[in-house]
Structure 1
């Protein structure tokens, strides 16, 4: 490391050209420098390596054994450095082979990833997609360490410090099975409270949600008889029972097995966002994936 601190990249570039040309004048022309400048560089290089490096010969200059030993390692090192500092090449989805990792709840899977999946397979057939269970407590660490590339979460509950983009705004609707006898029309607030409700509790076992908070502000309550951790189980439950649920509208649209009506109270919705870390913000492949998901929605 001490040797590296003594190095000047311009001296190494000069040495690389000198070892290729064996001539100070031609090296100066290639480097767009004056001949005296190249000679000064050569003098510094000789001092740095404690070796003459290039000696006068009958046809130009000939390298010393030390210079010959330097030639290939120096060339490889400069090529690697050039590659490291070169501008990022454009992302070609058709030739891409990477694996993307996205953290999402089953709601995010259904409303964000599923609409994008067919197009993603067509545009980037050589890539793979790994979907991880959303763990808000671990999200920041996961994106910092590259365990996941993107997370899909609500804006209100998104951790600070991450890049984000709003995907859509969501609202709640009242849902039951098709032909539900008490959902032939929009129920009154009193009728709403007497229905048997299901709630989604991501942490498990909770019987209180945003709808209950709104009801409590008006001094009202509803009857919640089932608590489940996943949205998709709710859909199957509603289709086969007389239970009802307040669900995000995107999750239930175009589902012939379900009846959707406007609830008799206004329940605040939320914004769905895509989250990622600064470390991957400018990566061409990562940027392409983000834009593709947005376009798919």
Structure 2
């Protein structure tokens, strides 16, 4: 590297460019114009004597030099952020912050949408970026700073991550209004004979942990459809005689006419926790948002 002055803004731009691999997206992330980010990229290329990012079919591809820089750059900037933000007060009404969350479609409807509406009132400069939950990658995404918060079961993650319990969840059975077979005190033997639609996030499966539990007692339900999302289930059952088990809190996000049946004998439950990495633990803004989420889901 030559003697050109290296300033913090250039390092922040380099981090954004290597993360987004797209000048337009990096500019949006930094709240800068595209020409300004392009100019800073040219300065970075001159400083490091390397193109850093080269055009690709979609966006840009990091060079080997850029990939070598990425992890130490993120670690250094994160340590600096923690040093600065841990000693600052957070003023939500004038803050500018982007928080990336990973969660299921159900959490998007039941938790994230109310959160976004609350932020519009309390902290209009805070943006939420939602990514689909990938359980196999979430630990690494948190460590690399690609994701700030994960909503999932506590037992699914590394014990060194920070966790905060939000709520326990249970299932209810839904069907169209006037469904002839839905009634109070529905028995297990009647339940398995209904035509069910289930959710398979990975796609194509016709069994869930609930079916495994039923099989242990010698029962098998009649599953006729496997869907990819909980969010479509109310519409599906409203237009058919199919029924579906959905998380209870999802009912709060749906106002259409449904028959909702409690199943006291169905003990299947799961917990939802807020999970984050040490890298953002002391960030005043992230701390404020975590507390807001906890208070809204108590």
> Secondary structure of 1:89's partner?
coil
8 A Cα contact 2:100 2:130, kept in partner: yes
Question: How far did 1:239 drift?
Answer: 1.6
**What do you get for the CA RMSD once the two structures are aligned?**
2.1
Following TM superposition, where does structure 1 have runs of at least 4 consecutive aligned residues deviating by more than 4 angstroms?
83-87
TM-score by length of 2: 0.68
Match of 1:178 in 2: 177
In structure 1, distance between residues paired with 2:130 and 2:238: 27
- Equivalence for 1:103: 102
* Count of aligned pairs: 216
1:266: how far off?
2.0
Q: Secondary structure at the residue paired with 1:137?
A: coil
Conserved in 2, the CA contact under 8 Å of 1:156 and 1:270? no
* Cα distance in structure 1, aligned partners of 2:169 and 2:190: 25
Q: Judging changes above 3 Å, is the alpha-carbon distance between structure 1 residues 95 and 196 closer, same or farther for their aligned structure 2 residues? A: same
The answer for the alignment partner of 1:247 in structure 2 is 246
Following superposition of structure 1 onto structure 2, how do residues 250-269 of structure 1 map, counting pairs within 5 Å? 250-253=249-252, 255-263=255-263, 265-269=265-269
Match of 2:220 in 1: 221
The residue number in structure 2 matching 1:131 is 130
Aligned-partner Cα distance in 1 for 2:246–2:160 = 29
How far apart, CA to CA, are the structure 2 residues paired with 1:156 and 1:234?
A: 27
* Whole-angstrom CA distance in 2 between matches of 1:155 and 1:245: 26
| Matched ranges for 1:1-297 at <5 A | 88-253=87-252, 255-263=255-263, 265-297=265-297
CA distance in 1, matches of 2:281, 2:180: 51
Q: Distance in 2 between matches of 1:193 and 1:87?
A: 54
* 99-108 or 253-262: bigger deviation: 253-262
TM-fit CA distance, 1:161: 2.6
Is the contact between residue 116 and residue 128 of structure 2 (CA under 8 Å) also seen in structure 1? Answer: no
Deviation at 1:185, TM superposition (A): 3.0
Unaligned runs of 5+ in 2: 1-79
Give the 3-state SS of the residue equivalent to 2:178 in structure 1.
coil
Q: Is the 8 Å Cα contact of residues 179 and 241 (structure 2) preserved in structure 1?
A: yes
With over 3 angstroms needed to count, the CA separation of the structure-2 counterparts of 1:249 and 1:99, relative to structure 1, is same
* TM-score normalized with structure 1 length: 0.68
- Taking the aligned partners of 1:294 and 1:87, their CA distance within structure 2 comes to 20
| 1:273 counterpart SS class | strand
The 2-side partners of 1:84 and 1:148 are apart by 20
Please, which runs of 5 or more residues in structure 1 have no aligned partner? 1-80
Deviates more, 1:97-106 or 1:158-167: 158-167
Name the larger-Rg structure. Answer: 1
